[in-house]
Structure 1
Amino acid sequence: MKIGDLGELVVLTLRNPDRAVRLLREFGLSTSERWMTVVLAASLSSLLAGIARQMFPPATNDALSAILADPMTLAALQFGAMVLSAAAVTVIGRAFGGQGNFADALVLVAWVELILVGLQAVQLVLMVLVPPSAMIMSLVAFALSIYLTISLTKALHGFTSTPKVALGFIGGVFLVATVLSILAAALGILPEVSP
């Protein structure tokens, strides 16, 4: 696959998620290739986050910031979050009658992350050239991540109702956020809140 093909696949993903999911499945990636894609996405995202952190150091220096300052830790957290997301998409989707599996969910989560890495790179350039526009790019990336997650989850499981998938997504986000908050509190890495 060439760079131009990747660009076409991004456009196809945005315009026709069902067809994009079929095409990604047709690639026939092996198990190791799927995991390598997740590692690549996590590594690139963490690399760009590390560069942004060096260029624009955070104002606070709490425990969470210290953890995120280490590129390897950040990459590991990104990797874990992607695997957890793929598992949540699979389990919640199948609980509502979906047909998707974890292997395909893993590829889709990695693909969404790679698209967002492209936006992250653009945002980094904008932070240098036109700082105010970087915030707009952050909002675009956030909205796009939600759109892609809902659209690709719908296509993965063969669902027909976008509103129902959106509700499932919102419920899943709250569930995962609750679990992660409990873990973070147990490990003592939540930022301190002033009274």
Structure 2
Amino acid sequence: MKLGDLGDLMVLTLRDPDTAVRVLRGLELPMAVRWMVLLLAVTLSTLLAGLSLLLFPIEVDNPVSRMLSEPMSLAGIQFGAMVLSALFVAQIGRLFGGHGTFPDALLIVGWVELMLVGLQAVQVVMMMLFPATATLLSMLAFGLFLYLAVTMTKALHGFTSTGKVVVGLIGSVFLLGFVLSLIAAAFGIVPEVTP
């Protein structure tokens, strides 16, 4: 697959997620390559986050902020969250009658993250040139994430109802948040609450 093919696949993903999922599945990538896609996405995202922190430093005033400002911690958290997301997308979708598998979910989560990394790179450049666009680009990135999460999950499992996928995704996000908060509490990483 060439660089131009990646651009075409990005456009296809935005226009026709069902076909994009078929193309991704048709690549028949071995499991090791699927893990590498995820690692590449995490690495690029962490590098861009580090660059963003260098260009636009933020105040680190609590344990969570300190942890997220450390590149290795951020990479580990992102990687863990993406693996859990792929697991939840695969398993919860199958509970509701979908036919997606964990390897395909892992590839799709990695692919979506790579697309978001592209937007993240544009965001860093735009923040340097036009700082006022930061909020707008953040909203655009969040909207794109929601769109891709819903449409790619729907395509992965062969669902026909977008509404049910949205409800399932919201439930999964709450469940994932609960699991991550339990893990954070177990490691003593809890935000400080001041009365």
TM-score higher than 0.5 here?
A: yes
The superposition leaves residues 34-80 of structure 1 with CA deviations (integer Å, 9 ceiling, x where unpaired) of 11111101110011011111111112321112212221221111111
Q: 1:105-116 alignment to 2 at 5 Å?
A: 105-116=105-116
1:65 aligns with 2:51: no
Aligned to 2:168: 168
Aligned to 1:20: 20
Which one-letter code corresponds to 1:192 in the other structure?
Answer: E
CA distance in 1 between counterparts of 2:111 and 2:93 reads 18
CA distance in 2 between counterparts of 1:76 and 1:60 reads 19
The superposition leaves residues 3-53 of structure 1 with CA deviations (integer Å, 9 ceiling, x where unpaired) of 221111111000000000000001110011011111101110011011111
Give unpaired runs (5+ residues) of structure 1: none
Aligned to 1:9: 9
CA distance in 2 between counterparts of 1:17 and 1:86 reads 17
Which one-letter code corresponds to 1:150 in the other structure?
Answer: V
The superposition leaves residues 70-99 of structure 1 with CA deviations (integer Å, 9 ceiling, x where unpaired) of 212211111111100000001100000100
Q: How many residues are paired up?
A: 195
CA distance in 1 between counterparts of 2:183 and 2:138 reads 27
CA distance in 1 between counterparts of 2:53 and 2:151 reads 31
1:178 aligns with 2:178: yes
Aligned to 1:86: 86
Which one-letter code corresponds to 1:13 in the other structure?
Answer: T
Over the aligned positions, Cα root-mean-square deviation in angstroms equals 1.0
Give unpaired runs (5+ residues) of structure 2: none
Shift of 1:103: 0.2
